[in-house]
Structure formats: C-alpha cells, structure tokens
C-alpha cells in the first residue's frame, strides 16, 4: 500500500506548452440529474473545470439541464426529455459520447449517475450505456445502485467506482463497517480485481485500488460528508482521467485534490462548508503544489 501526497498531482498539472489546443487537456461529459436532484451534475461539471478539463458538457433531463445552465456559461447542456434518465435516451447519449470522443481526439471521460435517481428504467439505462461505451467512466452516487445485485461484473479497468461504505455494500455485498484500514484495503482490492474496475472507497482514509495496487489517501476531512462533496470528487476524477492512461494514479490524485481543497475550505467555513466552497479552493491547492 502506498500513501498519497501532493506529489501525485505533478503528472497532471505541469506547465502547459505554448502550442496547446482545446481538448488537449481533456473533455468531460456528465450524465445525470433528475427533477428532484437537479444541481448535482452542475457540481460535478464545475469541479471538472477547476480540475483542469478544457470542456465540460452535461446531459440531463429537462428541468435539471435548465438549472445546470443557470450555474454559469462555462457549462454546456443537452436537455433530455422527461424528468429522469430513460431508455429512450440511450441512443442519443451514445451518439453524443462518440461525437465528443472524436472532437476531443480521444481525451474524454464520462461521469454518470449523480442525481439520476434510482428508478428501474434509469438504472437499466446506466447499465446499457456502460456496456456500449469505450471511454473511461466514473460511476458515482445513484449510478452505483444501477449495479446492485448484478453478478459477474467485468469492466476491464475502464470504470472507476466512487462509493462510500454503504454504496460499497450495495455494489459488492460486502460490509466494511468496524474493520481496520488494512482489512478494508484488502477487501477493496479483492473486489476491484473481481470486477476489473478501479474502486475509490471514500472515508476518513480513502482507499483506491485497481485490484493489483492500493493507494491510501490519509487526509481526513469530516466536513466532506456534506452533500455535494462526492460530486466534486467525481468531477475531478473525470478531469484527470480524460488526459491520462494511468487511471489508478488519476483516481488517487483526484482523491487527494478533493480532500486538500476541502481542508482549505474548512479553514474558512468550518461546518458551514458546502461543495461550492471546495470547488473554489481547487486552484489554491494546485498553486501550492507546484
């Protein structure tokens, strides 16, 4: 097991070349949101932009897409009909993904599930989408529930799951409460190996594994239990995944950056921390890490 520190960010945030073109540093597509959970995709998208992605585009059901667009002009939105993700959206989502992949010269990562809700059709749509795409995908929040009770999962290290303890149980059927960090790490590693996925288990110590190696992010920030701070981790993860082949290191770097930004935000806001406070501290973490 290897502990993560700020050095993990160096591969992702070096000085950019003068001839840099748009998309060289990645494009992120966010798929999620619903009538009730309308702001979640916006938090993902804003965190991805602060995490260095050149472009963020968001596909959400109507009301959510309209609300996301109101967060700022940097977020490009694709409104979907209805109040939640549905199977009728699948073909257009796949077409959008392929178009973005071509436009970004392959530098694309997807985040799916945030605010999507847990309707049966929504979960089915998420599963089918994952089966058909060929880009790295971060599966978070309600997206994790799409794989509840699904046997023999296999993702060929294309997928990054970002569960907390209960979501890990939903995904794997394994309970981790009361175990030591070492014991948790062993079970996370085993589950990641069985699924062919990367797992980022969120907690006081984040445990990140691809089934072969394990990183520990020992950066406890209890205030990150606040709603929306998991969305920021998903967005940062996608921003790093979009511009590297080293997916485990990207996941570890995202965990560190999210926690470090959270820690800075807590210094000012304390228990009043909200996810937007964390997002605004990402640039300071990156500046200090150089």
What residues form DSSP beta bridges with 111? 30, 138
Instruction: Give residue-wise pLDDT tens across range 56-67.
Output: 999 999 999 999
Instruction: Confirm if 157 and 74 have CB atoms less than 8 A apart.
Output: no
Cα separation of 213 and 185, whole Å?
10
**pLDDT score at 183:** 98
Question: Residue 248 has what pLDDT?
Answer: 97
DSSP output for 141-183: THHHHTTTT--S---TT-EEE---HHHHHHHHS---TT--HHH
Residue 88 near residue 121, CB atoms below 8 Å: no
pLDDT of residue 243: 93
Query: What structural domains does the chain harbor?
Result: 22-254 (3.40.1190.20)
In this prediction, the residues of the chain whose per-residue pLDDT falls under 70 are 290
Can you give the pLDDT at residue 211? 97
């Amino acid at each position: 097991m290897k502990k993560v520190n700020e050095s993990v960010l160096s591969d992702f945030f070096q000085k950019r070349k003068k001839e840099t073109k748009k998309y060289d540093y990645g494009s992120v597509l966010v798929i999620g949101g619903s009538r009730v959970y309308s702001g979640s995709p916006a938090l993902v998208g804003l965190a991805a932009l602060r995490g260095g992605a050149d472009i963020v585009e968001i596909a959400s059901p109507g009301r959510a897409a309209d609300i996301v667009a109101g967060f700022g002009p940097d977020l490009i939105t694709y409104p979907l009909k209805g109040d939640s993700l549905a199977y009728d959206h699948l073909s257009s989502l796949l077409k959008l993904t392929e178009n973005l992949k071509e436009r970004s010269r392959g530098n694309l990562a997807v985040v799916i599930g945030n605010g999507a809700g847990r309707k049966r059709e929504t979960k089915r749509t998420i599963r089918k989408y994952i089966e058909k795409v060929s880009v790295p995908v971060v599966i978070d929040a309600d997206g994790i529930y799409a794989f509840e009770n699904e046997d023999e999962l296999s993702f060929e290290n294309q997928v990054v799951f970002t569960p907390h303890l209960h979501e890990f149980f939903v995904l794997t059927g394994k309970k981790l409460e009361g175990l030591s960090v070492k014991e948790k790490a062993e079970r996370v590693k085993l589950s990641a190996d069985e699924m062919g996925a990367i797992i980022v288990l969120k907690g006081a110590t984040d445990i990140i594994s691809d089934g072969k190696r394990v990183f520990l992010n020992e950066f406890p920030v209890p205030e990150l239990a606040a709603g929306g701070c998991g969305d920021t981790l998903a967005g940062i993860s996608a921003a790093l995944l979009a511009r590297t082949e080293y997916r485990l290191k990207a996941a570890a770097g995202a965990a560190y950056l999210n926690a470090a930004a959270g820690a800075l935000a807590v210094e000012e806001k304390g228990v009043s921390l909200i996810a937007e406070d964390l997002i605004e501290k990402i640039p300071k973490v990156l500046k200090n890490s150089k």
